[in-house]
Structure 1
Amino acid sequence: MKQARKKSITFAHVFLGNGLSNANPLPYEAIFNFGDSISDTGNAATNHPAMPSNSPYGSTYFKHPSGRLSNGRLILDFIVEAYGLPMLPAYLNLTDGQDIKKGVNFAYAGSTALDQTILKQKSINVDAAAYSLSTQLDSFKKLKPSLCKSEEECDSYFKNSLFLVGEIGGNDINAIIPYKNITKLRELVPLIVEAISNTTTQLIKEGVVELVIPGNFPIGCNSAVLATVNTDKEGDYDQFGCLTTYNAFIEYYNEQLKKAIETLRQQNPNVKITYFDYYGAAKRLFQAPKQYGGITFAYVFLGNGLSNANPLPYEAIFNFGDSISDTGNAATNHPAMPSNSPYGSTYFKHPSGRLSNGRLILDFIVEAYGLPMLPTYLNLTNGQDIKKGVNFAYAGSTALDQTILKQKSINVDAAAYSLSTQLDWFKKFKPSLCKSKEECDSYFKKSLFLVGEIGGNDINAIIPYKNITKLRELVPLIVEAISNTTTQLIKEGVVELVIPGNFPIGCNSAVLATVNTDKEGDYDPFGCLTTYNAFIEYYNEQLKKAIETLRQQNPNVKITYFDYYGAAKHLFQAPQQYGFSSGKLETFKACCGKGEPYGLSAQFPCGSFSATVCSDPSKHINWDGPHFTEAAYRLIAKGLVEGPFANPSMKSPPFKII
């Protein structure tokens, strides 16, 4: 088989047959951005660490200031995520040896389209004009030799790259807003448009063949502009509360920009130039705010059509489980390994309470349905928004209660946070979500509940004994615990649930290292332990039978089975196809830890001082032994949400998992 490039690739490539070229698994290899505070992810904060470096900037998503002038991600962040690329490093924060081949961000908060000299000639003072669009272009030209050496190499590289030129020009305009002088604003328009056109032309001369040029926002709806203009004349506002004159000005500006783009297209017929209608995308939010209550701006902007009556398939998602989906509960009580680097290093850039280098299956699911990452139950604070869902999962927890496990001489510390405990948390919490039966029925009708994956730790506790008989004895008890919890949730008013099966533990690095048999017949052709995978197949079959019984008992409730086994096993059977390292040992090696042959040992777990971490987690399925990397979780989540590993299929998600 021809070896595929080892990059993250959509799960649908094999399972749904969508043919992505082996040579180019992602639409873009890199994204480069120029602009102002709308897309600056840290450049200005490097030089002027004032407001964006203080709380509450970054509080919602990053949980700390990130150099962005928002509470979380920006439009640019959502775009690069949508195309399967990492968040762009800020140019002024680049370090030696840093990976810049997937793109760089040159945007600088407060910067202008026009150079400082031109603005001063017009008695317009903008401090950050020193980092204007032409300065950002110069920075790109200086960086270019680090991206590609020859004209041929650059042409090939830029052919697979996307360049965003703006939004820019907003600060040129903002500097005049206090004068409330529309005539002076209109005088700037041809100059700003010319600056954007000139930069675009220069980029095309550098070899760029695909660009995006955004228009400007409806500033008449902008809080800062509304506060500055502050007119009490009712006729100055439209029916939605926006200033008509200022929105009309932006409409004029955007029309002039679109004319310039059309000229650029005619001058460069082999170059694709896309216009982003920031005005239209944003104005919809102001005109129907309730309709888009929890939807990211990027969702509206990228044109995914939502029903007026039901903009999202689910209003809330609630989750029960163990470390496969715990996003911080266990770390609250036991801040050990998951609170150490390199946990969280790939995506969050800091430990996030997750036992992986980045996002988990649960994170991808809630993102796909347009909801924010779920807050963890044990970390909830007064006034926190809980109406979009909560995560009760606890790393190390079990399906069976601690008393039952102790009767069988099975010791699992976190069994104190078993499935029944998590269910009790939910019941105590329920009055905060809804008061009356009618209110709860209405709320849960639009909510999704995930019950698991759970039971893995009950099983893991017996693995060291290498006793399949003892494992099989647990199966009916685990299945009964999951069934009982599901029944209790249905009695509480829940009408849509997901119950996942378990993973192919015979392919799990921790199990492989623990069983550690040298008998070749114990392994399948891919390097997985056949007996342990056969056990999980048996377990999953019993779980599916129980789910079918639950369906018959509750015909008005939708219960979906998530085939974790099938979704994960394909990765181990064709690792190269998904950008992972291949080979009977390499496929199973943990990215983080220390030891042979699977990169693991009890003495040097991931996060400990002597443990090592691989250079590229995206080439590994396994992260730390028991848990997978974000790259693997992404592919599994895609197969679950978009098919074919859910039975019955899930509601169509508004976002694609890419």
Structure 2
Amino acid sequence: MSSTTCTLLINIIIIFIFSTAATAVDFSYPAVFNFGDSNSDTGNLVAGLALNLEPPYGQTYFHKPSGRSCDGRLIIDFLMDAMDLPFLNPYLDSIAAPIFKRGCNFAAAGATTFPPPTSGCPFSFDIQVAQFLRFKAKAVDILTKSRKYDKYLPAQDYFAKALYTFDIGQNDLTGAFYSYETLDQVLAYIPIILSAFQDGIQKLYDQGARNLWIHNTGPLGCLPQNIATYGGDDELGCVTSQNQASKHFNLQLHALCKKLQGQYQDVNVTYVDIYSIKSNLIANYSRYGFEQALMACCGYGGPPLNYDARISCGETKVLNGSSVRAKGCNDSTKYISWDGTHYTDAANQYVASQILTGKYSDPPLPDKMPFLLNLK
């Protein structure tokens, strides 16, 4: 796909997006079912592969590793809190009889939308959807036979009334940049990613999903990991080509959301512009109380990025003949990036607060939304 063709495609998509009618969002849901990657994984990958996240993960809020790729809470945690719903338990965590009455989390760190051909996270979007189908079938079967587990599992009508949230695609784009030589090749891969996403949405719709909440992807080129790998080249120090790919992905995802809304008249589809929120935060970080826009809180190497691909946050390794540790910073509230790939608890809280204003949603959230939600 040439750059000229891509520009023409963007113009067509913009016209399509703004010519489609919007519907209102209710936001009173008995349960939430979440799908995605590490941006919203509350412990699936750790439980599914028997992995361990070491301190300082979790240091800010949970005060111990919680299965989240963060020092504390994720955006999904803040959204659940705002709706007065409990944090979502990961589907794969069977320890301590987790309660799924108000929903379940299927997101897994490293997950892609389109199943990777080789190694990678085994819990891609199609697998997450399959896990949901099994979860629903088992829950309905159990509750049909006995009411003993009512307080642990969602009632059958919850599945139609629930909110289905999605935050996935970042790893697909990251993998594409590692696999392909040119930006045009990466852009040509985007329709394949979104076709797999649409297939999963269709399966969920067939199972009664009617309220879809879809996050676009953030500025990929502003992650310290990618800046360290490719070199920042824009005015903020981010990677231009990767942010261009994120924008193309988001435009096509937005168009898909409009298509789904038009195709299924009984569905409420909300598209949330995470990219704009995160870009604004990075560009104006000091205005929002942050001191570091692109340097990781937990990492190794010091300024300007404090990121070294050879050693992950919390690890101790021998590098260049010396034993070193990727430590956490003293005050993560001053940092946007936690470990070079994920955001801090403080940054996630800011992003969630902006989501809940409704200004970044299509359709926009009702004016009464901030008064219905418990904004933190």
TM-score between both structures, scaled by the size of structure 2: 0.82
Change (3 A) 1:637 1:614: same
Alignment equivalent of 1:553, drawn from 263, 277, 284 = 263
Quote the residue 2:61 is aligned against: 347
| Secondary structure, aligned partner of 1:476 | helix
Alignment pair present for 1:657 and 2:375: yes
What is the RMSD computed on CA atoms of the aligned residues? 2.2
- SS class of match (2:84): coil
Following superposition, the deviation at residue 614 of structure 1 comes to 1.1
Q: Contact 1:441–1:493 (CA<8 Å) still a contact in 2? A: no
For the residues of structure 2 that align with 1:611 and 1:556, how far apart are their CA atoms? 50
The aligned counterpart of 1:514 is 229
Report what 1:541 is aligned to. Answer: 251
Query: Shift in Å at residue 359 of structure 1?
Result: 0.1
Q: 1:621 to 1:383 in 2, by over 3 A?
A: closer
Look up the match of 1:31.
none
Q: Distance in 2 between matches of 1:384 and 1:393?
A: 16
Deviations 1:260-291 (A, max 9, x none): xxxxxxxxxxxxxxxxxxxxxxxxxxxxxxxx
Correspondent of 1:567 among 270, 277, 285 = 277
Question: Which of 195, 200, 203 pairs up with 1:485?
Answer: 200
Give structure 1 regions of 4+ aligned residues with deviation exceeding 6 angstroms: none
CA drift of 1:534 comes to 1.6
Query: Quick check: which one's helix share is greater?
Result: 1
Report deviation, 1:548.
1.0
What is the distance in 2 between the residues matched to 1:541 and 1:384? 38
Secondary structure at the residue paired with 1:379? coil
Q: 2:92 aligns with which of 378, 382, 387?
A: 378
Q: 1:551 to 1:604 in 2, by over 3 A?
A: same
What amino acid maps onto 1:427 in structure 2?
L
Residue 195 of structure 1 corresponds to none
Pair 1:425-2:131 in alignment? yes
User: In structure 2, what is the Cα distance between the partners aligned to 1:480 and 1:462?
Assistant: 16
CA-to-aligned-CA distance 1:385-407 (integer Å, 9 cap, x gap) = 322000000111110123xxx2x
Deviation at 1:328, TM superposition (A): 0.5
Report how many aligned residue pairs link the two structures: 327
By how many angstroms is 1:531 displaced? Answer: 2.3
The answer to whether the Cα contact below 8 Å between 1:316 and 1:388 also exists between their aligned partners in 2 is yes
Report the secondary structure of 1:319's partner residue. Answer: strand
- Describe the shift of the 1:343–1:466 C-alpha distance in structure 2 as closer, same or farther (beyond 3 A): farther
User: Which amino acid is 1:578 matched to?
Assistant: Y
Query: 2:119, 2:188 → 1: CA distance?
Result: 17
Whether the aligned pair in 2 keeps the contact of 1:318 and 1:390 (CA below 8 Å) is yes
Structure 1 position 607 matched with structure 2 position 325: no
Q: In 2, distance between residues paired with 1:456 and 1:626? A: 11
Aligned ranges 1:319-468 → 2 under 5 Å: 319-336=34-51, 339-380=53-94, 384-402=98-116, 406=117, 411-414=118-121, 416-434=122-140, 442-451=157-166, 453-464=167-178, 467-468=182-183
CA displacement at 1:458 relative to structure 2: 1.6
Name the SS of the counterpart of 2:70 in structure 1. Answer: coil
1:343–1:537 Cα change, 3 Å: same
The 8 Å contact of residues 412 and 461 in structure 1, kept in 2 or not, is answered as no
Q: Deviations over 1:363-385 (max 9, x none)?
A: 00111101101111001368643
1:647 counterpart letter in structure 2: D
User: 2: CA distance between counterparts of 1:589 and 1:335?
Assistant: 30
Q: 1:272 maps to which residue?
A: none
Match of 1:588 in 2: 294
How far apart, in 2, do the equivalents of 1:466 and 1:334 lie? 32
In structure 2, C-alpha distance between the alignment counterparts of 1:648 and 1:441, rounded to whole Å: 28
Alpha-carbon contact 1:513-1:600 (below 8 Å) kept = yes
Q: CA deviation at 1:315?
A: 0.8
Q: C-alpha offsets along residues 46-81 of structure 1, whole Å, 9 cap, x if unaligned?
A: xxxxxxxxxxxxxxxxxxxxxxxxxxxxxxxxxxxx
* Unaligned runs of at least 5 residues, structure 2: 1-26, 145-153, 317-324
1:646 pairs with 2:361:
yes
Q: Are the structure 2 counterparts of residues 527 and 573 from structure 1 closer, same or farther at C-alpha, using a change threshold of 3 Å?
A: same
Distance 1:322 1:419 in 2: 9
Letter aligned with residue 511 of structure 1: N
CA distance, structure 2, for counterparts of residue 466 and residue 387 of structure 1: 46
Structure with bigger RCO (C-alpha 8 Å, 6+ apart): 2
Q: Which whole-Å CA distance do the structure 1 matches of 2:49 and 2:337 have between them? A: 23
**Identity over aligned pairs, percent:** 35
1:423: how far off? 0.4
Distance 2:298 2:258 in 1: 39
Distance 1:613 1:466, change over 3 A: farther
- With structure 1 as the length reference, what TM-score do the two structures score? 0.47
Query: Is the contact made by 2:213 and 2:271 (CA closer than 8 Å) also made in structure 1?
Result: yes
Residue 531 to residue 655, structure 1, CA distance change in 2 (3 Å): same
- AA of the residue aligned to 1:615: N
1:505, 1:511 within 8 Å by CA — same for their partners in 2? yes
**Structure 1: which 5+ residue stretches go unaligned?**
1-311
Corresponding letter in the other structure for 2:293? T
Displacement of 1:528? 2.3
Measured in 2, the distance between the counterparts of 1:383 and 1:359 equals: 22
Contact 1:563/1:645 (CA < 8 Å) preserved in 2? Answer: yes
Conservation of the 8 A alpha-carbon contact between 1:434 and 1:443: no
